[in-house]
């Protein structure tokens, strides 16, 4: 058994290891639609009858509650041997904004690490088939903490756009993940048309598919019914199916 220096990580690993599939949604480049894709995958999976979870670990700019149309006061957790996430149908959802009232939260590296460990160790995810963990953009303390501390229970799901700058940045993330021992890597091309497939597969990363850019997403943010009727639903449903294999 891997020895952990922090007791909280042991419970975090114990809790997460009960979930069939845990994907750590990463992108070293900001603005690629990571939170939107993570939210849609988790929400669509739950709407298909799959018990799913969404954990927003972007402490500085949490946005998944905005996508789901939740006001801070609507988010309710239950205390039971830890904290049971908010429920939207079959979707279990947790975000720090319920504790911060969505006020600005600037955390330095050590504080972010502590908040991550605390949160991962107290949230109880019961009987989920699929958990998406949304992370802040970049490769810094939070990502490193998750990448190294949760090895063995998470699979990295990379999000990028076809932009050369985004791909350049994500290529470095792929290298970092390989160095950390991750063999299975997954990637979604957002706001694209499939043009990255060749480059991604050449790097030995599993290309799950693409989601084309549509303006309709912006207009649907905050409205669950509209989110269910997006023109890209078929694309996201295909991603869900591949992630559930």
Partner 1 sequence: MVHEWALAESIILYIKQQGYVNIKKLRVCIGVLQSIDKEILNYALRELAEEYGVKLDKVELVDEYPLLKCNVCGFMWSINPSEISDDVREAIHFIPEAIYAYYKCPRCGSLDYSIVKGRGISEISVDVHE
Residues near partner 1 (CB under 8 A) are 1, 3-4, 7-8, 10-11, 14, 59, 79-83, 96, 99-101, 103-108, 110-112, 114-115, 118-119, 121-122, 124
Residue 195 CB, nearest approach to partner 1 (Å): 41
CB of 149 to partner 1, least distance (A): 13
Residue 148 contacts residue 13 (beta carbons within 8 Å): no
Which residue in this structure is represented by tokens 């088939």? 129
Closer to partner 1 at the Cβ: 19 or 185? Answer: 19
Q: Which lies closer to partner 1 via its Cβ, residue 12 or residue 240?
A: 12
Torsion of CA 188, 192, 193, 194, to 10 degrees: -40
Q: How far apart are CA 25 and CA 132, in angstroms?
A: 7
Minimum CB–partner distance for residue 83 and partner 1 (Å): 6
In 3D space, the residue among 220, 208, 227 whose CA is nearest the CA of residue 89 turns out to be 227
Closest CA to 182 of 215, 226, 148: 148
Identify which of residues 106 and 234 has a Cβ nearer to partner 1 in the complex: 106
Shortest Å distance, C-beta 19 to partner 1: 16
């Amino acid at each position: 058994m891997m020895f952990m220096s922090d007791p909280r990580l042991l419970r975090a690993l114990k809790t997460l290891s009960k979930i069939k599939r845990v994907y750590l949604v990463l992108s070293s480049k900001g603005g690629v639609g990571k939170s939107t894709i993570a939210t849609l995958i988790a929400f669509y999976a739950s709407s298909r009858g799959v018990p799913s979870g969404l954990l927003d670990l972007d402490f500085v700019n949490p946005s998944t509650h905005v996508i789901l149309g939740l006001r801070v006061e609507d988010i309710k957790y239950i205390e039971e041997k830890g904290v049971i996430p908010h429920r939207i149908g079959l979707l279990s959802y947790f975000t720090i904004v319920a504790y911060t009232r969505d006020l600005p939260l600037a955390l330095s590296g050590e504080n972010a690490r502590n908040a991550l460990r605390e949160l991962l160790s107290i949230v109880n995810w019961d009987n989920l088939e699929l958990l998406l963990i949304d992370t802040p953009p970049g490769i810094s303390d939070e990502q490193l903490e998750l990448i190294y501390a949760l090895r063995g229970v998470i699979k990295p799901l990379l999000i990028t756009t076809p932009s050369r700058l985004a791909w350049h940045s994500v290529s470095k993330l792929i290298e970092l993940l390989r160095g950390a021992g991750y063999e299975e890597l997954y990637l979604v091309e957002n706001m694209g048309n499939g043009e990255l497939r060749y480059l991604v597969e050449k790097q030995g990363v599993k290309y799950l598919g693409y989601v084309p850019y549509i303006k309709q997403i912006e207009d649907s943010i905050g409205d669950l019914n509209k989110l269910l009727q997006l023109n890209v639903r078929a694309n996201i449903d295909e991603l869900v199916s591949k992630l559930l294999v």
